Amino acid sequence: MSVTDIQVTICGSAGDGTIAAGDILKNTMASIGFKAIAFDLFPAEIRGFGKCVSRTRISSEPVYTLKPEADVLISLDDTHALAHIREAREFGVVIHEECPIAPAAEGSQVAEYIEPGHLPYQLPMRNMSEQTTNSPRSRNMVALGFLAGLLDMPRDAFHATIARKFRGKAKEVSTQNVAAFDAGFDAALAVFKLDDVRFRAPAEGAETGAAVMTTGNEAVVRGCLDAGIDSFFGYPITPASSILEMLAKDMPKRGGRVLQTEDEISAVGATVGAGYTGSRAATSTSGPGLALMTEMIGLGVMAEIPCVLLVSQRGGPSTGMPTKTEQSDLNLAVYGGSGDAQRLVVAPTNVYECYELAGYAFELAETFQTPVIVLLDLYLSNRHESVALPDDPPFALTAGKGLSEHDPDESYQRFAAAADSISPRAMPGEAGGIHTITGLEHGAEGRPSDSADTHAEMNRKRHDKLRGALAYRDLAVTERHGDAGKVDVGVLAWGSTYGETLEAMKQARAEGIRCAAMKVKMLSPLPTAAIEAFMDDCGAVLVPELNHEGQFANLVMSQTGRPVARLSYTTGEPMRPGDILREIRHLAEGRGPRVVAQGPNAAE
Amino acid sequence: MNRTRYVLIGNGAAGNRAAELLRERDPDGVITIVSRGTLLQYRRDRLNDLFDGRTDWRDYLVNAPDFYTEKGIRVRRQSTVVKVDADAGSVVFANGEAIGFDKLLVATGGERYLPDDLLDFADQCHFFDSYEEAMTLRRALPDGGRVLILGGDMAAIGLARKLREHGHGVALVPHERSFRPHLVDEAAQGPYLAALEKMGIEVLAPGPIDGIEAADSGSGAKRVRFAGGGEATADIVLPAYGSVPAVDFMHGTGVEIERGILVGATQRSAKENVWAAGNACQLEPTEKGIHIYNRDLVLQMGEVAARDMIGDPLELFEPGYAQELALDADGGLQSIFFD
Amino acid sequence: MADTAAQPIYLEDRIRKIEESGRLKHRSKALPTWCPGCGYYAMTEGVTLAVERLNIAPKDTVIVSGIGCASRFPFFMNAYGFHTLHGRTLPVATGVKIANDRLTVLVVGGDGDGFAIGGGHIPHAARRNIDITYLLFDNGIYGLTKGQTSPTSVVGFETKTTPYENRDVPLNPLMMLLSYGASWVGQAYAGHPHFLADMITDAIAHKGFSYLHIMSPCVTFDKTTNTYQNLGMKVRPMPDDHDPSDRMAAMALASEIDRPAEGLLYREDRPTLSDNLDAIIREAGGTPPPHRQPAAAE
């Protein structure tokens, strides 16, 4: 077998360097040409010794999701790792501490819980760390080195990543970490490798160094910067705070302005004000903040103002579960706000699309003169994928009909009728375009009016103009994968759940089920033509999503009029491919659609 | 409810058979097999098959992992026992951890014997006592390479036969412990050594070893220097002097140890909560002359020990196989180990 | 008998004078819809005169209004205008200024828009010293929605929402703005339109966040408390010896709610938000973009 597909789970306590070890592992693998996807779990509390879990899947082929089982489990803290022992697969490797500090109570050490099917490797991590660095804090590097040696991974690549990671710090930090890593690596050389976890160097010709491990939030930030974001207003909220923080650091270097406002209403208000004035402006938030922003979004829709909202969903409703993932703000993003206030909503399904859609959001906003919501979720925000972002960004740095497209002999009307319902937009500072905009209903020249004809016409204008977004430039808003033509079961998914959907679809096809999957990247307007064409090919259609009410299923059903089978649940964790596969099988057997809204593992 | 804690030290035939039986008869008991190694129970006696291309360790497992999971039998691996306190009912591992027991079975089998003159050169040698060692030897042996067996117990002779089938050269330096566990006086070794030569094994002169080092060729080959003068080279040097019961850690626990742990007809030792089975034990009375425990007998011992542990004792059936090494009509070796 | 007969004022002369002044270019064709006698007329005239005096082009002016009688203000001016949401003028104005600080940004709103729903935004606009001008029209009532109690209504005020008389002690906007770190705080009275125009001019000219508190009656819904008569009697000139660089002295003046002084209470010069953002850009090694660099002399 020349394909590598290894998933490493590292469990530890806060302060053990669990996340750092995972970080070095995934960055090293990406730097030598592997594809990787990684997702870390942080403790909910700030202080204390909460559990950290770092999961990294390394593959020579593109991967879309984490596997339910790990090939290697490393325990840096047995108390926390106990709950995860079963995560290591049969004949998978478990690496753990050989010498507990104090006489350990029976039942508290990983050694007792290692399953018969596991391959255990005891390692005196603490002692090795003390010997090389005079401190037990480098146990994580010892363990990482041991893993690298066990799997014959290239030592130098790790050294390079460690040096990069600590380049801002004193030199000893880097040398000590390398020393601890080498101690582990050398120990592994003396161990007989039972060869069940196989690691093969990537094929010749793999682009080395081109891919970098990037999180969804990092990709969003890159997309904004590559699209020439000019001003940003944000308010801290999990899991979107890092967007504000990264932009606060990077935008000034490029002449941009960032402001942390006093609340979300102010953030979106300033974004709208800046967008009105011609700045490429954005804000970021999560569900609770978006709820506060809906009134302003309505103003943006009514007054036809370009602005971008980067929203990462978390467990809801209300304050919900700030550190858990969910997809339950679709209704809020698509419908939130008073009146018929349709706006553009796009939803990335992987880290690359976070970059792509964040970048395109600005020109979409300017072209269609409306708020654009980029809707991701905590899983995407925080998960790492190896992506190669383009050196030559595809985004248009200016877009939309400006005052120059207005005939200067005519008096300027901000909301003049047009074939595509998009009026030339004047901006403050431009001569010949003076106008006032308002949240009141208004006529073509912008003055308040509540006449029947005006309101009907303006509602039509504001809605019709958005249709063009379905076929904007080279941006694909749907994509189909799997079997072409007629299939038994089609899976229609959005957001991060698409990764798990692809995995389930692959397995279903391997079992002989004719199966296809379609991702929907634009939620408003909904690409109903493409969706209906897909549904025409499917014997049954399944919609899996991480919310209780089946919000996307409802959206699809209400706009196509066709029934779908649903798999909707909220565990705070990413959906499991096994659960989607089970539903695909169920539908393939012709047993009819059903609504599964309880937890996963629902009985057949 | 107090669940009986059974600890079985040793991951061989006896320990695993006992565990299986204990689970059948005591559904609630806590059953833990303790092993120094990394793998689940596997057929060490079949490792010669590595040379036939069966190199996946999973092919040697006696039971799939499910077996243990379904029966709730814990298998603690990479755990070396350094001390046992039979009165307190605790087993202590090398890393300081301890586990408690109500009933203990010692089934650690034998550990290899190395004569004193070889202790300093063990790192130049290869061994064949575990899958890991056997695979290491197999990888280190080049095509058509040569193996020098020191001593030559029955396991090594069986290996020698396999090596000859695959075109490897084999030489052997006789020793008083050659042909173990069969007991053959040095003086009486002649016909058996001749049988080895018939198998294509080059029998060298016996004598103590002065040293083993890397041969000059730099190919990984070794040179063995004899105290009596002369030397021999080979790609692999394999000390094979038979084994002794692996029971050092049981000294001072109150069980009686001669060569192995002395046990009665139900495999129980002198301590009422400690049993022993397999090559770690020594059946009483020895005048019955049973000193070679083949696999079937070892399995039986495990069963008998387990039956006694759960209070439904069974006595051991005597084995019906020959204890001695013999020659067949053609002058070839005839032994319980050569089925 | 001295000849004290009033001189006739001819409408045509007046109109011609106004047209010749050129300031009508700052007014739109729409005629204001406020109640006759409303203080907003004086305010509109004051803004018109101010931008004319300061030579600010209509295209470079953005007037941001909230919800209330102030709502329609931008529609009556010839300038870019943004009629926003209730209480959210300051965030929107912040965004406008940050996007292009060559623009002159004026914020108009009433006491309800500013100090009820909008109260949370004022401290931050003030402390950041955003270079905008906040013209706060305080008539102590919600006029557009036809007469409800506001955060600056006096104790005892009777409206449809306080039929048993208001018990809540009113806010003191001047005290608040002074404590929020506003760099320019002034007070004026709609009944003194010329002085009002001068104050508006100074407020706009100030580089930094200018807060001008404009007292006015609501002629339609408050016939008892904040009438021209009562206000006219209360308002007094700023004491000559007041030092506008003395914040505590300004606060002392602000606390005299029965004798409001019209004029400049406080002023200081310190870097604006735009100054700070540009400094950050330079410290980070960047360059402010062309559209935000100082324009060539116009």
CATH number of the domain bearing residue A180: 3.40.920.10
Instruction: Give the whole-angstrom CA distance, residue A566 versus residue A297.
Output: 30
Q: Please, are residues C51 and C135 in contact by the beta-carbon 8 Å criterion?
A: no
Please choose, from the candidates A251, A216, A215, A219, the residue with its C-alpha nearest in 3D space to the C-alpha of residue A233: A251
Confidence (pLDDT) at A604: 42
Provide the token pair at C137.
């029209």
From chain C, the residues in CB contact with A279 under 8 A are 95, 98-100
Beta bridge partner(s), residue B7 = B32, B104
Tell me what the mean pLDDT of segment A547-569 comes to: 96
- On whether residue C77 sits in a domain, the answer given is yes
- On whether residue A12 sits in a domain, the answer given is yes
Q: Please, are residues C30 and A239 in contact by the beta-carbon 8 Å criterion?
A: no
Instruction: Give the whole-angstrom CA distance, residue A77 versus residue A52.
Output: 10
Which one of A266, A436, A440, A442 would you mutate to disrupt binding with C, by most C Cβ within 10 Å of its Cβ? A436
Q: What are the two backbone dihedrals, phi and then psi, of residue A562, each rounded to the nearest 5 degrees?
A: -115, 150
Tell me what the mean pLDDT of segment B165-170 comes to: 96
- Tokens 């209504």: give the residue: C153
Query: Using the 8-state DSSP alphabet, how is residue A240 labeled?
Result: T
- Residues A23 and A117 both lie in one domain: yes
- Residues A260 and A188 both lie in one domain: no
CB contact under 8 A, A103 and B98: yes
In chain A, the residue whose alpha carbon lies closest to the alpha carbon of C26 is A434
**How far apart are the CA of B98 and the nearest CA of chain A, in angstroms?**
7
- On whether residue C91 sits in a domain, the answer given is yes
Instruction: Give the whole-angstrom CA distance, residue A37 versus residue A308.
Output: 28
Check CB contact of A248 with chain B, cutoff 8 Å. no
- On whether residue C124 sits in a domain, the answer given is yes
Confidence of residue A45 (pLDDT cuts 50, 70, 90): confident
**CA distance to A104, A176, A386, C25, C298, per residue, from C56 (Å):** 79, 64, 53, 11, 10
Nearest to A194 among B38, B69, B95 (CB): B38
Confidence (pLDDT) at B216: 81
- Residues A197 and A281 both lie in one domain: no
Which alpha helices (DSSP H) does chain C contain, by range? 11-21, 39-53, 89-99, 111-112, 122-128, 173-179, 193-205, 228-234, 247-255, 273-283
Those chains having 3 or more beta-carbon pairs within 8 angstroms of chain A are B, C
From chain C, the residues in CB contact with A448 under 8 A are 72, 75
Confidence (pLDDT) at A590: 82
Instruction: Give the whole-angstrom CA distance, residue B304 versus residue A85.
Output: 35
Instruction: Give the whole-angstrom CA distance, residue B36 versus residue B16.
Output: 14
Those chains having 3 or more beta-carbon pairs within 8 angstroms of chain C are A
Is it the case that residue C294 has pLDDT exceeding 80?
no
Confidence of residue C83 (pLDDT cuts 50, 70, 90): very high
**CATH code of the domain covering residue A377:** 3.40.50.970
- On whether residue A393 sits in a domain, the answer given is no
Nearest to C95 among A233, A249, A432 (CB): A233
**How far apart are the CA of C223 and the nearest CA of chain A, in angstroms?**
30
Confidence of residue B288 (pLDDT cuts 50, 70, 90): low
Instruction: Give the whole-angstrom CA distance, residue A493 versus residue A212.
Output: 27
- Residues A517 and A573 both lie in one domain: yes
CB contact under 8 A, A122 and B75: no
Per-residue pLDDT reduced to its tens digit, B242-251? 999 999 999 9
From chain B, the residues in CB contact with A119 under 8 A are 38-39
Per-residue pLDDT reduced to its tens digit, C109-147? 999 999 999 999 999 999 999 999 999 999 999 999 999
Instruction: Give the whole-angstrom CA distance, residue A326 versus residue C26.
Output: 52
- On whether residue A526 sits in a domain, the answer given is yes
CB contact under 8 A, A428 and C64: no
Q: Is A352 left (phi over 0), alpha (psi -120 to 50) or beta?
A: alpha
Please choose, from the candidates C179, C163, C165, C214, the residue with its C-alpha nearest in 3D space to the C-alpha of residue C193: C214
Which alpha helices (DSSP H) does C60-99 contain, by range? 89-99
Check CB contact of C283 with chain A, cutoff 8 Å. yes
**How far apart are the CA of B58 and the nearest CA of chain A, in angstroms?**
9
- Residues A252 and A159 both lie in one domain: no
Instruction: Give the whole-angstrom CA distance, residue B276 versus residue B305.
Output: 7
CB contact under 8 A, B97 and A120: no
- Residues A539 and A560 both lie in one domain: yes
Check CB contact of C288 with chain A, cutoff 8 Å. yes
- Tokens 């970059």: give the residue: A355
Confidence of residue A425 (pLDDT cuts 50, 70, 90): very high
CB contact under 8 A, C94 and A428: no
Question: Beta strands B222-226 and B231-234: pairing type?
Answer: antiparallel
**How far apart are the CA of B63 and the nearest CA of chain A, in angstroms?**
10
Tell me what the mean pLDDT of segment B45-53 comes to: 95
Check CB contact of A107 with chain B, cutoff 8 Å. no
Residues of A (260-289) whose Cβ lies below 8 Å from C: 261-263, 265-279, 281
Q: What are the two backbone dihedrals, phi and then psi, of residue B45, each rounded to the nearest 5 degrees?
A: -70, -5
Q: What are the two backbone dihedrals, phi and then psi, of residue A108, each rounded to the nearest 5 degrees?
A: -110, -5
Instruction: Give the whole-angstrom CA distance, residue A18 versus residue A144.
Output: 10
Nearest to B57 among A116, A117, A194 (CB): A194
Tell me what the mean pLDDT of segment B127-134 comes to: 96
CB contact under 8 A, B39 and A194: yes
- On whether residue A459 sits in a domain, the answer given is no
Number of folded domains that form chain C: 1
Per-residue pLDDT reduced to its tens digit, A59-93? 988 888 999 999 999 999 999 999 999 999 999 99
**How far apart are the CA of A385 and the nearest CA of chain C, in angstroms?**
29
**How far apart are the CA of B264 and the nearest CA of chain A, in angstroms?**
32
Provide the token pair at A206.
């793999």
Per-residue pLDDT reduced to its tens digit, C199-234? 999 999 999 999 999 999 999 999 999 999 999 999
Query: Chain A to chain B, count of Cβ pairs less than 8 Å apart?
Result: 58
ipTM: 0.93
Instruction: Give the whole-angstrom CA distance, residue C178 versus residue C123.
Output: 10
Number of folded domains that form chain A: 3
Where is the domain boundary, A210, A225, A243?
A: A210
Confidence (pLDDT) at A597: 55
Check CB contact of C95 with chain A, cutoff 8 Å. yes
Instruction: Give the whole-angstrom CA distance, residue A371 versus residue A229.
Output: 15
Question: Beta strands A307-313 and A371-377: pairing type?
Answer: parallel
Confidence (pLDDT) at C117: 96
Confidence (pLDDT) at A183: 97
Range of the structural domain that residue A500 is part of: 478-596
CB contact under 8 A, B97 and A121: no
Nearest to C95 among A263, A272, A437 (CB): A272
Strand order in the sheet with B73-76: B73-76, B30-34, B5-9, B103-106, B274-276
**CA distance to C43, C217, C257, per residue, from C11 (Å):** 22, 27, 40
Range of the structural domain that residue C89 is part of: 33-271
* The residue type at B288: K
CB atoms closer than 10 angstroms to residue A448: 16
Query: Chain A to chain C, count of Cβ pairs less than 8 Å apart?
Result: 159
- On whether residue C281 sits in a domain, the answer given is no
Beta bridge partner(s), residue A6 = A58
- On whether residue A344 sits in a domain, the answer given is yes
Tell me what the mean pLDDT of segment A107-116 comes to: 85
- Residues A205 and A62 both lie in one domain: yes
Confidence (pLDDT) at A205: 42
Please choose, from the candidates A88, A115, A89, the residue with its C-alpha nearest in 3D space to the C-alpha of residue B68: A115
Per-residue pLDDT reduced to its tens digit, B209-249? 999 999 987 788 999 999 988 999 999 999 999 999 999 99
Using CA of residue A55, residue A61, residue A65, residue A69, what is the dihedral sign? negative
Query: Using the 8-state DSSP alphabet, how is residue A338 labeled?
Result: S
- On whether residue C15 sits in a domain, the answer given is no
Q: What are the two backbone dihedrals, phi and then psi, of residue A462, each rounded to the nearest 5 degrees?
A: -65, -35
Please choose, from the candidates B119, B142, B116, B17, the residue with its C-alpha nearest in 3D space to the C-alpha of residue B67: B17
**CA distance to A133, B43, B107, B276, per residue, from B40 (Å):** 36, 10, 15, 20
In chain A, the residue whose alpha carbon lies closest to the alpha carbon of C290 is A255
Query: Using the 8-state DSSP alphabet, how is residue B88 labeled?
Result: T
Check CB contact of C277 with chain A, cutoff 8 Å. yes
From chain A, the residues in CB contact with C94 under 8 A are 259, 261, 266, 269-270, 273
Provide the token pair at C51.
């931008």
Confidence (pLDDT) at B285: 62
DSSP per-residue letters across B135-185: HHHHHHS-TT-EEEEEE--HHHHHHHHHHHHTT-EEEEE--TTTTTTS---
**Cis preceding-peptide flag for B319 (omega within 30 of 0):** no
Instruction: Give the whole-angstrom CA distance, residue A155 versus residue A141.
Output: 13
- Tokens 């905590």: give the residue: A378
Element of type H or E holding B82? strand B81-85
Check CB contact of A122 with chain B, cutoff 8 Å. yes
Query: Using the 8-state DSSP alphabet, how is residue C32 labeled?
Result: P
Is it the case that residue A603 has pLDDT exceeding 50?
no
CB contact under 8 A, B39 and A109: no
Confidence of residue C7 (pLDDT cuts 50, 70, 90): confident
**CATH code of the domain covering residue A503:** 3.40.50.920
Nearest to C100 among A296, A429, A431 (CB): A429
Is it the case that residue A161 has pLDDT exceeding 50?
yes
- Residues A373 and A273 both lie in one domain: yes
- Residues A311 and A178 both lie in one domain: no
In chain B, the residue whose alpha carbon lies closest to the alpha carbon of A119 is B38
- Residues A272 and A376 both lie in one domain: yes
CA dihedral angle for residue A458, residue A461, residue A464, residue A465, rounded to 10 degrees: -130
In chain A, the residue whose alpha carbon lies closest to the alpha carbon of B73 is A116
- On whether residue A494 sits in a domain, the answer given is yes
CB contact under 8 A, A116 and B76: no
3-state secondary structure of C76: helix
Check CB contact of B74 with chain A, cutoff 8 Å. yes
- On whether residue A448 sits in a domain, the answer given is no
Is it the case that residue B264 has pLDDT exceeding 80?
yes
First-to-final CA distance of chain C:
56
Nearest to A252 among C74, C102, C281 (CB): C281
- On whether residue A426 sits in a domain, the answer given is no
Q: Please, are residues A361 and A371 in contact by the beta-carbon 8 Å criterion?
A: no
From chain A, the residues in CB contact with B39 under 8 A are 119, 194
- Residues A205 and A242 both lie in one domain: no
**CATH code of the domain covering residue C139:** 3.40.50.970
From chain A, the residues in CB contact with C283 under 8 A are 252
Where is the domain boundary, A327, A358, A387?
A: A387
Tell me what the mean pLDDT of segment A473-484 comes to: 95
- On whether residue C198 sits in a domain, the answer given is yes
Instruction: Give the whole-angstrom CA distance, residue A279 versus residue A277.
Output: 6
| Residue B331 CA to its chain's centroid (Å) | 28
Q: Do chains C and B touch (3 or more CB pairs under 8 A)?
A: no
Beta bridge partner(s), residue A55 = A9, A39
Q: Please, are residues C197 and C49 in contact by the beta-carbon 8 Å criterion?
A: yes
CB contact under 8 A, C286 and A254: yes
Confidence (pLDDT) at C22: 86
**How far apart are the CA of B126 and the nearest CA of chain A, in angstroms?**
14
CB contact under 8 A, B77 and A120: yes
Nearest to C93 among A268, A273, A435 (CB): A273
Please choose, from the candidates C156, C155, C270, C257, the residue with its C-alpha nearest in 3D space to the C-alpha of residue C215: C257
Show Cβ contacts of residue A211 under 8 Å, excluding neighbours closer than 6 positions. A30, A31, A33, A35, A386, A387, A388
**How far apart are the CA of A436 and the nearest CA of chain C, in angstroms?**
4
Provide the token pair at A320.
């919900």
In chain C, the residue whose alpha carbon lies closest to the alpha carbon of A434 is C80
Check CB contact of A433 with chain C, cutoff 8 Å. yes
Confidence of residue A355 (pLDDT cuts 50, 70, 90): very high
- Residues A47 and A180 both lie in one domain: yes
In chain A, the residue whose alpha carbon lies closest to the alpha carbon of B96 is A103
- On whether residue C223 sits in a domain, the answer given is yes
CB contact under 8 A, B79 and A111: yes
